[in-house]
Amino acid sequence: MTQDRNIRVFFVTVPRSAPAPGHQDRAFFILRRAIARAFMALMTKPNDATLKRILQRTKTIAVVGVSPNPVRASYFVARYMKLKGFRVIPVNPGHAGANLLGETVRATLADCPPEVDMVDIFRRSEYVPPIVEEALAHLPNLRTIWMQIGVTNPDAAALAQAQGLDVVQNLCPKMEYQRLFGELRMGGINTGILSSRL
């Protein structure tokens, strides 16, 4: 009589511990707030004629939160706008003094030249109000506050609009430029974020 010496190994999956009380409530609150912000931005989105007018009149853009990393969205959006003839002033205190896209990186908007007429914001929504306040205080030719995709702040928007500025929230100027001026080719790789590395 032979004894079966086959050894069987069983893998047991141990479930993660349940989230702490209140964790799910907080996650729901954050999701609800994000949806509300996106809805408000959609409801207040400028029409195409206004967006086109903004892009046609703009000459100098200060990009707040731009990264020198070429794979970051802020970099290739800034680079694209420069290639389209806009002067792009990079603003990032962590890289102040460096050269980026042919311009010196500024630490703050207060360090930017007065001809800046649009501020493009790559920062989280809660950081927008002081950026807008600084822009209003130091940029005499400012005409537009533009908040990138995912960035909205109704209070900051109202502050800028009260000063007669145009405000765009939750949109990308690169993508809107491509869409409004016929550079998007649907069905190809030249759409959306894939075409941002021009």
The pLDDT assigned to 73 comes to: 96
Radius of gyration of the chain (CA): 23
**At 155, is the secondary structure helix, strand, or coil?**
helix
For residue 28, pLDDT over 90 is answered with no
Percentage of the chain lying above the pLDDT 70 cut:
72
Helix (H) or strand (E) holding 57: helix 48-57
pTM of the predicted protein model = 0.73
Contact 114, 137 (CB under 8 A): no
For residue 189, pLDDT over 70 is answered with no
Name residue 92's amino acid.
Answer: N
Q: Given pLDDT bands bounded at 50, 70 and 90, which one contains residue 181?
A: very high
C-alpha to C-alpha distance for 157 and 15, rounded to whole angstroms: 45
The pLDDT assigned to 45 comes to: 86
For residue 190, pLDDT over 50 is answered with no
C-alpha to C-alpha distance for 147 and 68, rounded to whole angstroms: 19
Domains of the chain (ranges, CATH numbers): 47-196 (3.40.50.720)
